[in-house]
Chains A and B, each alone.
Chain A
Amino acid sequence: MTDVSHNRSRSGPKTSSGGFSLAKLLLEGRAFLALVVIIVVFSMLSPYYFSLANFLTMASHVAIFGILAVGMLLVILNGGIDLSVGSTLGLSGVIAGFLMQGVQLQTLGILLFPPVWVVVVLVCVLGALVGLVNGVLIAWLKVPAFVATLGMLYVVRGAALLMTNGLTYNDLGGKPELGNTGFDWLGFNRLFGVPIGVLVMAVIAIIGSIILNRTAFGRWLYASGGNERAAELSGVPVKKVQVAVYMLSGICASVAGLILSSELTSAGPTAGNSYELTAIAAVVIGGAALTGGRGNIRGTLVGAFVIGFLSDGLVIIGVSAYWQTVFTGAVIVLAVLLNAIQYRRRVRLPSPTDGPSTSPQQGKARTADPAHEKIAG
Chain B
Amino acid sequence: MNAAPQFEPAPADTVLAARNIVKSYGGTHALKSVNFDIRRGEVTTLFGENGAGKSTLMKILSGVETPTSGSIELDGRPVAFSSTVDARNRGISIIHQELSLAPNLSVRDNIFMGRELRGATGLDFAEEARQTRLLMADLEEDIDPLTLVQDLRLGQQQIVEIARALSVDSRILIMDEPTSALSATEVEVLFRVIRDLTARGVSIVYISHHLEEALQITDHAVVLRDGTITATAKAKDIDLEWIVRNMVGENFDLGSPPAGYAFGEVALSIEDVSIADSSGSDRLVVGRLSLDVRAGEIVCIYGLMGAGRTELLECVAGRLPAAGGRVLLEGDDISRLSIAERISRGLVLVPEDRQRDGLVQTMSVGTNLSLASIGAFVTGMFLSRSRERSLVEGSIRDVRVKTAGGSAPIGSLSGGNQQKVVIGKMLTTNPKVMLLDEPSRGIDVGAKAEVFRLLGERATQGLAVVFSTSEVAECLGIAHRIIVMRRGRISAEFGAGVTKEQIMAASGEAVIASS
**Do A227 and B408 touch (CB < 8 A)?**
no
Residues of A within 8 A of B367 (CB): 219, 222-223
Report if A232-B339 is in contact (Cβ < 8 Å); known contacts: A5-B402, A15-B408, A220-B374.
Answer: yes
Bound Cα distance from A226 to B368, whole angstroms: 11
Name A360's contact: one of B382, B404, B415, B429 (CB within 8 Å): B415
Of A174-182, A259-267, A351-359, the one with at least 4 CB within 8 A of chain B: A351-359
Report if A360-B25 is in contact (Cβ < 8 Å); known contacts: A223-B360, A227-B360, A233-B357.
Answer: yes
The 0/1 profile, CB within 8 Å of A marked 1, for residues 458-493 of chain B is 000000000000000000000000000000000000
Bound Cα distance from A214 to B388, whole angstroms: 11
Whether, in the assembled complex, B351 has its beta carbon less than 8 Å from a beta carbon of chain A, the answer is yes
Residues of A within 8 A of B71 (CB): none
- Considering only residues 396-420 of chain B, those with a C-beta below 8 Å from chain A are 402-405, 407-409, 411-418
Whether, in the assembled complex, A362 has its beta carbon less than 8 Å from a beta carbon of chain B, the answer is yes
Bound Cα distance from A354 to B26, whole angstroms: 8
Of B11-19, B328-336, B438-446, the one with at least 4 CB within 8 A of chain A: B438-446
**Do B383 and A216 touch (CB < 8 A)?**
yes
Bound Cα distance from A220 to B370, whole angstroms: 11
**Do A3 and B26 touch (CB < 8 A)?**
yes
Counting contact residues on chain B (CB < 8 A from A), the size range is 35 or more
Name B411's contact: one of A12, A231, A364, A377 (CB within 8 Å): A377
Bound Cα distance from A355 to B442, whole angstroms: 15
Whether, in the assembled complex, A229 has its beta carbon less than 8 Å from a beta carbon of chain B, the answer is yes
**Do B65 and A7 touch (CB < 8 A)?**
no
Name A376's contact: one of B317, B361, B429 (CB within 8 Å): B361
Residues of A within 8 A of B72 (CB): none
Report if A215-B360 is in contact (Cβ < 8 Å); known contacts: A3-B26, A4-B402, A11-B404.
Answer: no
Bound Cα distance from A362 to B359, whole angstroms: 13
**Do A357 and B412 touch (CB < 8 A)?**
yes
Bound Cα distance from A82 to B86, whole angstroms: 45
Report if A234-B412 is in contact (Cβ < 8 Å); known contacts: A293-B363, A359-B442.
Answer: no
Residues of A within 8 A of B340 (CB): 235-237
Whether, in the assembled complex, A190 has its beta carbon less than 8 Å from a beta carbon of chain B, the answer is no
Name A236's contact: one of B51, B64, B355, B371 (CB within 8 Å): B371
- How many residues belonging to A are interface residues under a CB distance threshold of 8 Å? 57
Name A362's contact: one of B25, B372, B426 (CB within 8 Å): B25
Across the two chains, which residue of chain A brings its CB closest to B414? A357
Name B404's contact: one of A12, A223, A230, A363 (CB within 8 Å): A12
Whether, in the assembled complex, A345 has its beta carbon less than 8 Å from a beta carbon of chain B, the answer is no
Bound Cα distance from A223 to B425, whole angstroms: 13
**Do A216 and B27 touch (CB < 8 A)?**
no
Residues of B within 8 A of A237 (CB): 338, 340
Give the Cβ gap from B28 to chain A, nearest Cβ, in Å: 5
Name A232's contact: one of B319, B344, B412, B413 (CB within 8 Å): B319
Bound Cα distance from A232 to B30, whole angstroms: 32
Give the Cβ gap from A121 to chain B, nearest Cβ, in Å: 22
Give the Cβ gap from A312 to chain B, nearest Cβ, in Å: 34
Residues of B within 8 A of A222 (CB): 360, 362-363, 367
SS class, residues of chain A in contact with chain B:
helix
Residues of A within 8 A of B363 (CB): 222-223, 226, 293
Whether, in the assembled complex, A341 has its beta carbon less than 8 Å from a beta carbon of chain B, the answer is no
Residues of B within 8 A of A231 (CB): 360, 371
Bound Cα distance from A231 to B404, whole angstroms: 24
Whether, in the assembled complex, B56 has its beta carbon less than 8 Å from a beta carbon of chain A, the answer is yes
Bound Cα distance from A6 to B356, whole angstroms: 26
Whether, in the assembled complex, B231 has its beta carbon less than 8 Å from a beta carbon of chain A, the answer is no
Whether, in the assembled complex, B358 has its beta carbon less than 8 Å from a beta carbon of chain A, the answer is yes
Whether, in the assembled complex, B354 has its beta carbon less than 8 Å from a beta carbon of chain A, the answer is yes
Bound Cα distance from A5 to B371, whole angstroms: 26
**Do A215 and B381 touch (CB < 8 A)?**
yes
Give the Cβ gap from A51 to chain B, nearest Cβ, in Å: 40
Across the two chains, which residue of chain A brings its CB closest to B404? A11
Residues of A within 8 A of B27 (CB): 3, 6, 355-357
**Do A3 and B414 touch (CB < 8 A)?**
yes
Report if A360-B412 is in contact (Cβ < 8 Å); known contacts: A3-B27, A233-B358.
Answer: no
Bound Cα distance from A346 to B412, whole angstroms: 11
Bound Cα distance from A292 to B417, whole angstroms: 25
Bound Cα distance from A294 to B442, whole angstroms: 27
Whether, in the assembled complex, A367 has its beta carbon less than 8 Å from a beta carbon of chain B, the answer is yes
Whether, in the assembled complex, A21 has its beta carbon less than 8 Å from a beta carbon of chain B, the answer is no
**Do A233 and B349 touch (CB < 8 A)?**
yes
**Do B402 and A375 touch (CB < 8 A)?**
no
Whether, in the assembled complex, B378 has its beta carbon less than 8 Å from a beta carbon of chain A, the answer is yes
Across the two chains, which residue of chain A brings its CB closest to B446? A1
**Do B355 and A362 touch (CB < 8 A)?**
yes
Give the Cβ gap from B256 to chain A, nearest Cβ, in Å: 22
Residues of B within 8 A of A344 (CB): none
Residues of A within 8 A of B374 (CB): 216, 219-220
Residues of B within 8 A of A375 (CB): 361-362
**Do B56 and A360 touch (CB < 8 A)?**
yes
Whether, in the assembled complex, B202 has its beta carbon less than 8 Å from a beta carbon of chain A, the answer is no
Residues of A within 8 A of B441 (CB): 361
- Considering only residues 322-377 of chain A, those with a C-beta below 8 Å from chain B are 346-347, 350-351, 354-365, 367-368, 372, 375-377
Name B415's contact: one of A215, A225, A230, A361 (CB within 8 Å): A361
Whether, in the assembled complex, B343 has its beta carbon less than 8 Å from a beta carbon of chain A, the answer is yes
Whether, in the assembled complex, B103 has its beta carbon less than 8 Å from a beta carbon of chain A, the answer is no
The 0/1 profile, CB within 8 Å of B marked 1, for residues 1-31 of chain A is 1011111100110110000000000000000
Residues of A within 8 A of B408 (CB): 11, 15
Whether, in the assembled complex, B375 has its beta carbon less than 8 Å from a beta carbon of chain A, the answer is yes
**Do A350 and B442 touch (CB < 8 A)?**
no
Report if A214-B382 is in contact (Cβ < 8 Å); known contacts: A233-B319, A359-B414.
Answer: yes
The 0/1 profile, CB within 8 Å of B marked 1, for residues 280-300 of chain A is 000000000100111000000
| Cross-chain pairs A/B with CB under 8 angstroms, 7 sampled | A8-B403, A11-B412, A234-B343, A293-B362, A359-B415, A360-B30, A361-B441
A interface vs B, CB < 8 Å?
1, 3-8, 11-12, 14-15, 210, 214-216, 219-220, 222-223, 225-227, 229-237, 289, 292-294, 346-347, 350-351, 354-365, 367-368, 372, 375-377
Given A222-B367, A235-B429, A294-B362, 9 additional A-B pairs, CB 8 A: A1-B402, A4-B402, A8-B403, A11-B403, A14-B412, A223-B363, A231-B371, A354-B26, A361-B415
Interchain residue pairs A-B with the least CB separation, the first 8: A359-B415, A361-B442, A356-B27, A363-B25, A293-B362, A226-B362, A3-B27, A358-B26
